[in-house]
């Protein structure tokens, strides 16, 4: 925005300078009564805030701002300007009166169609050049920091609907370095079809103000091997709570997802093992309520409703009392092995060797166990 304002000011001053020159030229040919007006035009030319000069018939005319800026270097500066093209804008290093070399933007235009006569306006852009350098340096530092954390940045300007994607982002998403994706579709078109609904749902929820952050994991379509990324972002709102910009990062989480898949498979195998062993396996809390019961145990009790119920809900009073006693011994006296008889659906007694042990979780203790059927001996 500041560059646009600066450009508008420069165009205005350049137009004003040209107008003043033509006015002065016209007044030179008018009667003496007009000379006073010419002097007024000259005064305006002299108070222009930007260093300005024009050349006519091999003679230089400069304003006070030019003299203040270049002082003893005025002649050398004018000669340097004379070597530049007589139309357009030119970035050049100039030596100012304090003997400091600065970046300057020089705007030139021909006068009256002459190939030798021209006007020039000089704008000191050293501070802008320095600010740009600092911004570039900060951008490089940010990208290097993100590079080390395996993250990339994206920046969506919703007013122009243009998205900036960093080089790391393009690398993670599979773009070639020479490609320049700049739309939201450049990302969404790469979302795996199985994840598209989730991505759209999370994005809409955040844009509607229902979530503080936009966070989603998704696979990259047609990546080989299949890659996962984590996308994070946050919308920036302007007046009337209108969405104007969204900035975020992406991270390659393929290795983490691969480990999660392995862990899930291991858990599935373990669950399958416990579900199918020929033993009555269970997990209950210290109050005696069942939290887990394997298929063998559920089949033994006739698939009754067991979740969060205790032995008194599932068995006769005597059997429940015996189970409660084995639980007490395991919880408070450390007795691991027990002998117990459980009634079958036919009303017969089935004898088991019971093993019970405690698992300490963060918030509570759990009592786990399994019973192996054994012949009863008198």
Phi, psi (rounded to 5 degrees) for 371? -115, 130
277-373 has CATH 1.10.3720.10 classification = no
Average pLDDT across each block of 10 residues of the chain; the chain has 378 residues. List them in order: 52 55 53 52 71 81 85 84 85 83 83 73 75 62 61 90 91 91 95 96 96 96 92 92 92 91 91 91 94 95 94 95 95 93 91 93 88 72
Phi-psi sector, 71: left (phi>0), alpha (psi -120 to 50), beta: left
Phi-psi sector, 217: left (phi>0), alpha (psi -120 to 50), beta: beta
The predicted pLDDT at position 251 comes to 92
17 contacts: CB under 8 Å, gap ≥ 6: 45, 48, 52, 54, 119, 121
Decide: pTM greater than 0.75: no
The predicted pLDDT at position 1 comes to 47
Q: What is the pLDDT of residues 279-317, one digit of tens each?
A: 999 999 999 999 999 999 999 999 999 999 999 999 999
First to last CA, the chain: 96
* CATH code, residues 2-124: 3.30.450
The predicted pLDDT at position 137 comes to 65
- Three-class DSSP labels, the chain: CHHHHHHHHHHHHHHHHHHHHHHHHHHHCCCHHHHHHHHHHHHHHHCCCCCEEEEECCEEEECHHHHHHHHHHHHHHHHHHHCCCCCEEEEEEEECCCCCEEEEEEEEEECCCCCCCEEEEEEECHHHHHHHHHHHHHHHHHHHHHHHCCEEEEEEECCCCEEEECHHHHHHHCCCCCCCCCCCHHHHCCECCCCHHHHHHHHHHHHCCCCCCEEEEEEECCCCCCCEEEEEEEEEECHHHCEEEEEEEEEECHHHHHHHHHHHHHHHHHHHHHHHCCCEEEEEECCCCEEEECHHHHHHCCCCCCCCCCHHHHCCHHHHHHHHHHHHHHHHCCCCEEEEEEECCCCCEEEEEEEEEEEECCCCEEEEEEEEECCCCC
Superfamily of domain 146-257: PAS domain (3.30.450.20)
249 contacts: CB under 8 Å, gap ≥ 6: 146, 151, 152, 153, 154, 231, 232, 233
**Angle of helix 2-28 versus helix 126-148 axis, rounded to 10:** 160
Q: Does residue 247 contact residue 153 with C-beta atoms inside 8 Å?
A: yes
The predicted pLDDT at position 92 comes to 81
Q: What is the pLDDT of residues 266-275, one digit of tens each?
A: 999 988 999 9
For residues 111 and 322, what is the distance between their CA atoms, to the nearest angstrom?
Answer: 111
The mean of the pLDDT values for the chain is 83
Phi-psi sector, 4: left (phi>0), alpha (psi -120 to 50), beta: alpha
146 contacts: CB under 8 Å, gap ≥ 6: 152, 153, 166, 168, 249
Domain range annotation of the chain: 2-124, 146-257, 277-373
Q: Do domains 2-124 and 146-257 have the same CATH topology?
A: yes
């Amino acid at each position: 925005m500041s560059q646009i304002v600066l450009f508008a000011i420069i165009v205005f001053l350049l137009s004003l300078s040209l107008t003043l020159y033509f006015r002065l030229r016209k007044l030179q040919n008018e009667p003496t009564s007009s000379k006073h007006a010419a002097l007024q035009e000259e005064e305006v030319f002299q108070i222009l805030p930007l260093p300005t000069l024009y050349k006519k018939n091999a003679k230089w005319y400069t304003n006070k701002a030019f003299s203040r800026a270049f002082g003893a270097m005025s002649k050398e500066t004018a000669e340097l300007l004379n070597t530049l093209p007589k139309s357009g804008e030119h970035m050049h290093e100039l030596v100012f009166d304090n003997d400091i070399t600065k970046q300057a933007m020089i705007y030139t235009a021909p006068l009256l169609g002459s190939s030798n006569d021209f006007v020039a306006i000089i704008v000191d852009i050293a501070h802008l050049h320095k600010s740009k350098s600092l911004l570039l340096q900060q951008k490089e530092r940010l990208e290097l920091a993100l590079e080390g954390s395996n993250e990339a940045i994206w920046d969506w300007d919703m007013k122009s609907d243009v998205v900036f994607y960093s080089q790391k982002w393009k690398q993670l998403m599979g773009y070639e370095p020479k490609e320049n994706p700049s739309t939201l579709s450049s990302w969404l078109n790469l979302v795996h079809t199985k994840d598209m609904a989730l991505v759209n749902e999370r994005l809409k929820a955040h844009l509607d103000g229902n979530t503080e952050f936009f966070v989603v994991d998704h696979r990259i379509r047609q990546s080989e091997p299949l890659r996962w990324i984590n996308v994070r972002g946050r919308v920036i709102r302007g007046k009337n709570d209108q969405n104007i910009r969204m900035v975020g990062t992406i991270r390659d989480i393929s290795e983490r997802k691969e480990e999660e898949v392995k862990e899930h498979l291991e858990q599935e195998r373990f669950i399958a093992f416990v579900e199918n062993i020929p033993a009555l396996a269970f997990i209950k809390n210290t109050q005696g309520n069942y939290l887990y019961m394997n298929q063998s145990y559920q089949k033994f009790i006739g698939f009754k409703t067991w979740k969060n119920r205790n032995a008194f809900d599932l068995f006769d009073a005597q059997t429940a009392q015996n189970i409660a006693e084995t639980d007490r011994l395991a919880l408070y006296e450390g007795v691991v092995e027990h002998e117990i008889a459980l009634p079958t659906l036919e009303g017969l007694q089935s004898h088991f060797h019971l093993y019970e042990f405690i698992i300490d979780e963060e918030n509570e203790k759990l009592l786990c166990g399994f019973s192996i059927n054994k012949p009863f001996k008198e």
